[in-house]
Homo-oligomer: A and B are copies of this chain.
């Protein structure tokens, strides 16, 4: 493999010295880019884009050609795993993801099996291998998966939801079935991420989009516990380098101490938590990734720079900070504003690394 030309991102995740604060954007390959919309049109639909390694590679690299980002992230979807389990994933326009066969009963759960990452999910590993090769060592490649709890919400509800009625009924009334499903998903995510690492992913991130809809007690029992199981099962050294693991629970700001105790290397932080508080609370246990409100990218470039400066000052001097948005970039953002954001992070962070 080609040696890495820019390893700021990996170094910051391990709290090793860097020259400037590294930066990438969640959903950086996405609809706000006209070149992405063109490739997506060529692919037909969203899942066709995910399932065609050449096209997934193409969109993964697009934002890197526009902006001096410090990491690439595999273009894929968290629902590849339930799709490979045979639940019949489809996207209905304007309504988000849906499953033809939601998982509702003990029998439904018993019928599920861990998918083979080099079988049903081989298209993901092929994309990782191709992207890694096409990157030619420019920046590290991030692999990812959804958290067991987050995957389970879609599998049990059968669609996006605001109320979480079906899965919470399962959680409260049939906790054994709920745990069986989550354990299966934790095993599936572990082999899936390890396969991504073997295929070339140099860091991995677990997205827990919906852990924040639980009580603190249930978050620990039904979401964090299974992310910890994944962290314990991951390959942490590959190609002679540590493979950092990032955990991100949206709206999880109240539980950072517990998240930091899982053995992961870094936490993703959304914008509802102050980075200075977060750093004080987790101490030197983990690095932090975040946390600009993605809506700031709707504001003027001057205002974007002010916000970047505020967040850099909030984290303070020293390594251990990867700059990012607190959630995915919105589709109506002007790409020039994203450029101003990336530029501001690099330019304004120099004084914090002397």
Residues of B with C-beta under 8 A to A303: 172-173
Q: A303 to nearest B CB, angstroms?
A: 5
Q: What's the number of copies of this chain in the assembled complex?
A: 2
Contacts of A172 in B (CB 8 A): 295-296, 298-300, 303, 307
Q: Taking the nearest CB of chain B, how far is it from the CB of A346, in angstroms?
A: 21
A273:B163 contact, CB within 8 angstroms:
no
B299 touches A165 (CB 8 A): no
In angstroms, Cα B213 to Cα A128, docked, is 34
Classify the interface of chain A: helix, strand, loop or mixed.
helix
Q: How far is the CA of A215 from the CA of B310 in the complex (A)?
A: 12
Within 8 Å of chain B (Cβ to Cβ): is A67? Answer: no
Check B299–A173 contact: CB distance below 8 A: yes
Question: Cβ of A274 < 8 Å from any Cβ of B?
Answer: yes
- CB of A32 closer than 8 Å to a CB of B: no
Chain A interfacial residues counted at CB < 8 A: 32
Tell me whether A272 is interfacial, beta carbon within 8 Å: yes
By CB atoms of chain B within 10 A, which of A253, A277, A298 has the most? A298
Q: Which residues of chain B are near A272, meaning CB under 8 Å?
A: 212-216, 251, 254
* Residue A164, interface by CB 8 Å: yes
- Cross-chain contact A165 with B271 (CB below 8 angstroms): no
Closest beta carbon of chain B to A325's beta carbon, Å: 12
In the complex, whether A217 has a CB less than 8 A from a CB of chain B is yes
Tell me which residues across on chain B come within 8 A of A232, comparing CB atoms: none
Instruction: Indicate whether A37 reaches chain B with its CB closer than 8 angstroms.
Output: no
Interface residues of A in 161-200 (CB under 8 A from B): 163-165, 168-169, 172-173
**Minimum distance in angstroms from A138 CB to a CB of chain B:** 31
Contacts of A216 in B (CB 8 A): 272-274, 277
Q: How far is the CA of A272 from the CA of B215 in the complex (A)?
A: 5
Residue of B nearest to A216 (CB): B274
- Complex: A130 Cα to B254 Cα, angstroms: 43
Which residues of A come within 8 Å of B, CB atoms? 163-165, 168-169, 172-173, 212-217, 251, 253-254, 271-274, 277, 293, 295-296, 298-300, 303, 307, 310, 330, 332
Give 7 new A-B contacts, CB below 8 A, not counting A164-B295, A172-B300. A165-B330, A168-B298, A168-B299, A173-B299, A215-B272, A216-B274, A254-B272
